[in-house]
Amino acid sequence: MNLNIGCIAGDGIGPEIVKEARKVLDKVADKYGHSITYTDILMGGASIDVHGVPLTEEAIALAKASDAVLMGSIGGDTTTSPWYRLEPSKRPEAGLLAIRKALNLFANLRPAVLYEELAGACPLKEEISAKGFDMMIMRELTGGLYFGERKTIEENGVKKAIDTLSYDENEIRRIAVKAFDIAMKRNKKVTSVDKANVLDSSRLWRAVVNEVAKDYPEVTLEHMLVDNCAMQLVKDPAQFDVILTENMFGDILSDEASMVTGSIGMLASASLNDSRFGLYEPSHGSAPDIAGKGIANPIATILSASMMLRYTFDLDKEADAIDRAVKQVLKEGYRTGDIMAEGCTQVGTEKMGDLICEGI
Ligand code: NAD
């Protein structure tokens, strides 16, 4: 298969970690008989430096022409970088919002995995972390409270702010289908999270998810209220496979799940649209404090590349090879500085990429 991949190296540690992810993709392609065409795309601060804006029409066209986009991270030091003296719509992060909109990326996928070898970084009690966990949070990204009508008014001299939470059944259906499709590639369980005891939008959410579930008889569906889910994530995270939820609940729960893993340099993510296209990137930022030092952890980006193989290209065997190699390298005791532990061997960005390639 020929994989047509757009590459946004971005800012800060972005170019360093994307280089390693490409190396790993090349190794997989070589081993399994695929070819890859990369197209470099400028975005964020790197685009501001060349074009004066964080995302150009040309960059959007290049992304659209790709099967998938692999991204490092964008942005600089928000207090010292000149990019942050520009008006908000011209700053690096505006490029990210614009590309998500242009590509209609409505589904955000964030895996939270606790690796046995990194259990020490997990802030939960040992009896909980000992079981490990491997969940995928599927968050609706373009609807709900963050995109509803909002206003601030004054009534009888009292200021009042109003935000609107709305979802139509089509918005719910398309993300539910994605969640069930992904559950079919995993442990076949979906936990749909809502607040159906209070909110109308949640009651519609629940009804539509129940309808979609009928097409997936192999997948177990459960519904959970969001307050209970927040508790269960720290009490018994091993119970989850795919968590499906709306925009704001997902924003909060995915950060909670990430923190429970304890290691930001390990967390991948993907944003998907109606087709097989996806934008794959680490959950962390551009870490300007360590940029250029060769010490950034490339694993989140490498695991994002693995998600790309699995969810855009349906290359499960190849994705498994990357995931297995990452686990193996951790098992052998190699660590970048951010996940370093006693008795382990500390390595830099490039060496970590080399070791994962060897594991493949
Ligand atoms: P950050 O995630 O970049 O860094 C937080 C801390 O984690 C830092 O100490 C950093 O050194 C460390 N860290 C992050 N990734 C690491 C890695 N792979 N290996 C080792 N250590 C790592 O968050 P921040 O400092 O709040 O933001 C920095 C910049 O990144 C800002 O400009 C912000 O807007 C941007 N940002 C971009 C994205 C994105 O591109 N999607 C996401 C979040 C933040």
Residue 352 has pLDDT above 90, yes or no: yes
Annotated catalytic, 195?
A: yes
Which has more confidence, 279 or 122? Answer: 279
Which has more confidence, 233 or 263? Answer: 233
Q: How far apart are CA 222 and CA 204, in angstroms?
A: 15
Could you tell which of 264, 293, 299 is best to mutate to test the pocket of ligand 1, judged by most ligand atoms within 8 Å of the CB? 264
Q: Looking at the CA of residue 299, tell me the nearest atom of ligand 1.
A: 18
pLDDT in tens, 276-285: 999 999 999 9
Residue 138 has pLDDT above 90, yes or no: yes
289 CA distance to ligand 1 middle (Å) = 9
Q: How far apart are CA 70 and CA 99, in angstroms?
A: 13
Please indicate whether residue 284, judged by its CB atom, sits closer than 6 Å to ligand 1: yes
- What is the model's pLDDT at position 224? 98
- What is the model's pLDDT at position 170? 97
- What is the model's pLDDT at position 243? 98
pTM of the complete model? 0.93
- What is the model's pLDDT at position 121? 82
pLDDT in tens, 157-192: 999 999 999 999 999 999 999 999 999 999 999 999
Q: Looking at the CA of residue 10, tell me the nearest atom of ligand 1.
A: 40
Please indicate whether residue 111, judged by its CB atom, sits closer than 6 Å to ligand 1: no
pLDDT in tens, 281-332: 999 999 999 999 999 999 999 999 999 999 999 999 999 999 999 999 999 9
Q: Looking at the CA of residue 289, tell me the nearest atom of ligand 1.
A: 11
Q: How far is CA 131 from the centre of its chain?
A: 23
Residue 130 has pLDDT above 90, yes or no: no
Q: How far apart are CA 104 and CA 277, in angstroms?
A: 10
HSE-up of 323 (CA within 13 Å, CB side)? Answer: 18
Annotated catalytic, 320?
A: no
Mean pLDDT across the stretch 339-358? 96
Mean pLDDT across the stretch 57-82? 96
Residue 252 has pLDDT above 90, yes or no: yes
Residue the block writes with tokens 């390298």 = 329
Instruction: Output b/e per residue, 96-129; b: 16+ Cβ within 10 A.
Output: bebbbeebebbbbbbbbbbbebbbebbebeeebb
Across the strands, what pairs with 160?
153
Catalytic residue, candidates 26, 255, 323, 354: 255
- What is the model's pLDDT at position 264? 84
List the single range of 2-6, 36-40, 231-235, 261-265 with lowest mean pLDDT: 261-265
- What is the model's pLDDT at position 236? 95
Residue 237 has pLDDT above 90, yes or no: yes
Please indicate whether residue 93, judged by its CB atom, sits closer than 6 Å to ligand 1: yes
Nearest CA to ligand 1 atom 31: 75
Residue 120 has pLDDT above 90, yes or no: no
Please indicate whether residue 286, judged by its CB atom, sits closer than 6 Å to ligand 1: yes
Nearest CA to ligand 1 atom 36: 285
- What is the model's pLDDT at position 230? 98
Annotated catalytic, 189?
A: no
Mean pLDDT across the stretch 55-79? 97
Question: Percentage of the chain surpassing pLDDT 70?
Answer: 100
Q: What would the DSSP string read from start to end of 43-87? A: -THHHHHHHSSS--HHHHHHHHTSSEEEEEE----TTT-GGGGS-
pLDDT in tens, 21-33: 999 999 999 999 9
Mean predicted lDDT score pLDDT of the chain: 95
Across the strands, what pairs with 40?
7
Within the chain, where are the H helices? Answer: 14-32, 45-51, 57-64, 92-102, 126-129, 169-184, 200-213, 226-235, 247-261, 299-311, 316-331, 349-359
Please indicate whether residue 264, judged by its CB atom, sits closer than 6 Å to ligand 1: yes
Catalytic residue, candidates 188, 195, 327, 351: 195
Residue 227 has pLDDT above 90, yes or no: yes
- What is the model's pLDDT at position 146? 87
Please indicate whether residue 26, judged by its CB atom, sits closer than 6 Å to ligand 1: no
Please indicate whether residue 43, judged by its CB atom, sits closer than 6 Å to ligand 1: no
- What is the model's pLDDT at position 147? 86
Tokens of 289: 């404090």
